[in-house]
Structure 1
């Protein structure tokens, strides 16, 4: 599978590094109006400033979209209409309607559309999901997550802080990962209440902090707090069932060592839990890429596909609506 990457920022470099390691000769071209020549030279491929030129190449089978979100739909649909498979970074689009068009294009053209939900591929999260599916913790009652970073100086000047380029602020930027995990563990979400704030980055037109409560169609609940003012990076994802729990802490790197803590309800015996450590570098990018290629080969839905991207986006925009209306909002 030959690959074109659109965009030349941090995500492009992550994807390109993964491809170079796993499929050394498959990266053909990187496109960006800004730094494509320099980045392409680093990874030994061609470059162009015109994304349409890259997408139209007959020797390209897969397009990875690593641009700001306002370009996701246009580029992805153009690629899929040419029969290319697409891995588009999250959030899938800047509106539900755009995301629906992307999903429809993938179906019409018989191609695979993957949303960049690499968190599903972290080993601790995969193991927690496996244990839940095996019924180790009984019926799942609720999930709880904290996900935060230390915002950079002058973050207000980055594209992530520009409403014309981004789909939302911190609640969308990192929170959409957790919303996707909530859906994965709990099933479809049906209602949400949300509160967003600008605690520190006062000049930013998008939120630097968001809290939300969700209820799933099964009646399970979920709580999310995501923020740019964590000061020390943090990731925590908890799943509690009638008979026990699974807690994922850390993602490696600045988020701390990845680990899975599991415990069982026991009203009589002394309390104890077991911790599994996942040492080494972040493997989620490699696992996600290989799963994507496998889905293409097997002509099946990938883990975290376009529909998952659409539904996570739908839930996030419902949360913003809740913030505006100051009440619970149905997710539909």
Structure 2
């Protein structure tokens, strides 16, 4: 049975601990600077609680480390774990920028370790179904894809680390946008990126105390804290083969409550088109049949994304071949994110009041 160290005893650490139990692995260490949280997780799932990563990564009996901490610590903890000879499952986003991603990948290569990224949407039932439909050639040559996700009022922990750029690296784009980018690239078969152009918007955080919301995950808000990240991003990604990806993501916006789906993925080819919702139970394929357009519903099989993601990681540890998202996949996603930030024009001062 593989012995795992979990760094970060928050909500994502809990998901990984549950997944470890379901996938047949054991939690050996639980690391968190909040020792009370580490104890709570360890009491439920086993393992030794501690405040420092040193005991976990230097323990010869630890087979792998799962890193699920604020983004600015990803590079430091991943590199330290890899240099200590541990395989690593690293939560998204891979790091704050592509340069940090390259450092992590270099550490994995020089130590001959398995590095897998936590792009869990590859393991949803509908995500895997969509990839299967494309692989079967039902859409033909895909020329355009759309990846949209909007939250009506979903800024997480306003004023805390999620909205502090020095810690998070950005807002909605680097938080949830990376999931859409990776899932799109994976379904498309990882075409080569040649151009990225986008715009990010910081609308609601500029006047934090006026932000209206019903609930807030990672909350409650810290009204005296910082919000210097975007709450929405839009981009067009162009690929070498001539296809494109239209990306739209928002933590918050003045969206009607039920008039539009929260998420929608679309892939359009010369033989058919496919649409599905990120957490949906089916995909719809539109194609020509007997001189008419026909919509066909494909049901997604059951799946548990975190369990299945961890099972894939355990398999990768055995085979020494990553079957999930690789470090290079993570670096490509981060380069797209970096390019969107670089290409975004600043908001005119006259409109910021």
TM-score where L is the length of structure 2: 0.85
Identify if the C-alpha distance between structure 1 residues 29 and 132 changes in structure 2 by more than 3 Å, giving closer, same or farther.
Answer: same
TM-superposed deviation, 1:181: 2.2
Q: Alpha-carbon deviations, 1:35-74, whole Å to 9, x = none?
A: 2112221222210011222221111011000001111111
Q: Which residue of structure 2 lines up, in the alignment, with residue 300 of structure 1?
A: 321
TM-superposed deviation, 1:265: 3.3
Q: Alpha-carbon deviations, 1:11-47, whole Å to 9, x = none?
A: 10110011112225x1111100112112221222210
Query: Do residues 273 (structure 1) and 295 (structure 2) align?
Result: yes
Query: Do residues 61 (structure 1) and 63 (structure 2) align?
Result: yes
Q: Aligned partners of 1:57, 1:115: CA distance in 2, in Å?
A: 23
* Structure 1 gaps, min length 5: 252-256, 327-332
TM-superposed deviation, 1:225: 0.7
2:233 aligned to which of 210, 229, 237:
210
Q: Alpha-carbon deviations, 1:211-252, whole Å to 9, x = none?
A: 11110111101101111115668221111110101212141x
TM-superposed deviation, 1:150: 4.2
Q: Aligned partners of 1:156, 1:124: CA distance in 2, in Å?
A: 31
Q: Which residue of structure 1 lines up, in the alignment, with residue 137 of structure 2?
A: 135
Contact 1:112 1:302 (8 Å CA) reproduced: no
Q: Aligned partners of 1:101, 1:8: CA distance in 2, in Å?
A: 25
Q: Aligned partners of 1:234, 1:154: CA distance in 2, in Å?
A: 16
Q: Which residue of structure 1 lines up, in the alignment, with residue 28 of structure 2?
A: 28
RMSD of aligned Cα (Å): 2.0
Q: How does 1:49-198 map to 2 (within 5 A)?
A: 49-152=51-154, 155-184=157-186, 185=188, 187-198=191-202
TM-superposed deviation, 1:201: 2.9
Contact 1:183 1:189 (8 Å CA) reproduced: no
Q: Which residue of structure 2 lines up, in the alignment, with residue 200 of structure 1?
A: 204
Q: Alpha-carbon deviations, 1:74-101, whole Å to 9, x = none?
A: 1111111111000000110112111101
* Structure 2 gaps, min length 5: 209-226, 348-353
Contact 1:137 1:242 (8 Å CA) reproduced: yes
Q: Aligned partners of 2:270, 2:301: CA distance in 1, in Å?
A: 30
Q: How does 1:199-278 map to 2 (within 5 A)?
A: 199-202=203-206, 203=208, 204-229=227-252, 234-251=262-279, 257-266=280-289, 268-269=291-292, 271-278=293-300
Q: Aligned partners of 2:305, 2:70: CA distance in 1, in Å?
A: 21
Aligned length: 318
TM-superposed deviation, 1:151: 3.9
Identify if the C-alpha distance between structure 1 residues 154 and 242 changes in structure 2 by more than 3 Å, giving closer, same or farther.
Answer: closer
Contact 2:63 2:86 (8 Å CA) reproduced: yes
Identify if the C-alpha distance between structure 1 residues 290 and 152 changes in structure 2 by more than 3 Å, giving closer, same or farther.
Answer: same
Q: How does 1:310-321 map to 2 (within 5 A)?
A: 310-321=331-342
Q: Alpha-carbon deviations, 1:240-290, whole Å to 9, x = none?
A: 110101212141xxxxx4321112135822x3212234476x611111111
Contact 2:154 2:252 (8 Å CA) reproduced: no
Runs of 4+ in 1 over 6 A off after TM superposition: none
Contact 1:91 1:167 (8 Å CA) reproduced: no
Contact 1:194 1:320 (8 Å CA) reproduced: yes
Q: Aligned partners of 1:88, 1:159: CA distance in 2, in Å?
A: 18
Contact 2:155 2:252 (8 Å CA) reproduced: no
TM-superposed deviation, 1:146: 0.9
Q: Aligned partners of 1:138, 1:307: CA distance in 2, in Å?
A: 27
Q: Aligned partners of 2:288, 2:70: CA distance in 1, in Å?
A: 45
Q: Aligned partners of 1:267, 1:314: CA distance in 2, in Å?
A: 44
TM-superposed deviation, 1:113: 0.5
Q: Aligned partners of 1:139, 1:73: CA distance in 2, in Å?
A: 37
Q: Aligned partners of 2:62, 2:4: CA distance in 1, in Å?
A: 5
